[in-house]
Amino acid sequence: MRPTDFITLSRMTTAPESLSIAHADTPFGAILLAASQDGLTHIWLNTDGAALGRMQDAHPKTRLIEENVPHHAAALSHFTASPQALRLHLKGTDFQFNVWRALLDISLGATSSYKAVATKIGNPKAVRAVGSAVGRNPVFYIVPCHRVLAHDKGLGGYFWGVDVKRKILDWEAPRA
C-alpha cells in the first residue's frame, strides 16, 4: 500500500483565515492535527505539550478553532489498517512538493534513501536539498518522511528524533 493511493496534495497559496485543530493519540504519542477547509495542513507530535505554541508561531494571524473535522478523521485512519482518502493542503515550494510526492510513493514497510528520492525527482545531485525538504514535511507520518534512510541504510536524522523514527518503522513492518 502506497500513501499516494489515498492522498492528494493541494498547494496553499495564502494563509487560511482559520484552522480547525484537534488532539489525538497515535501509536507514537499524542499529536495535534490542523486542517483548513481545503485539507489537512499539519500533524505535529505533541509529546512535550508544545505543539499548540508551534502552531500559533507558524500561523500568527490565523484563528485556531478547536473542533474535529472530517480531514482529521481521514488523517487518523492512516494510523489503522483502513486508510481513507485524504486531501493535504500544504504550503511549500515546487521542489518540496516534488519531494513530498516522491515520498508518497514509498509503500508501507518499504524504505528509500535521500539519493534515491533525488534521482526519482530528476535531480540526482540534490541529495542535501531533498533532506531539507524531507525535514520540512508538515504532516508527520502521513507523508512518510520516516521511510527515508541514509545512504548507508542507517536511520539518519529525523525531526522528531531517531527513537521515534525507529518506533514508527518497527510498528509498520508487520503491517506491510
- Give the burial class of 173: count Cβ atoms within 10 A of its Cβ; 0-12 exposed, 13-18 middle, 19 or more buried: exposed
- For residue 168, CA distances in Å to 64, 79, 126, 146 come to 28, 10, 26, 7
Residues in a beta bridge with 40: 35, 88
Q: Which residue's C-alpha cell is 485512519? A: 77
Pairing of strands 7-11, 86-90: parallel
Contact 101, 4 (CB under 8 A): yes
Does 48 participate in catalysis according to the annotation?
no
Q: Which of 106, 134, 145, 148 is catalytic?
A: 145
Beta strand ranges found along the chain (DSSP E): 7-11, 18-26, 29-36, 39-45, 63-66, 86-90, 112-113, 148-149
Which residues are designated catalytic? Answer: 145
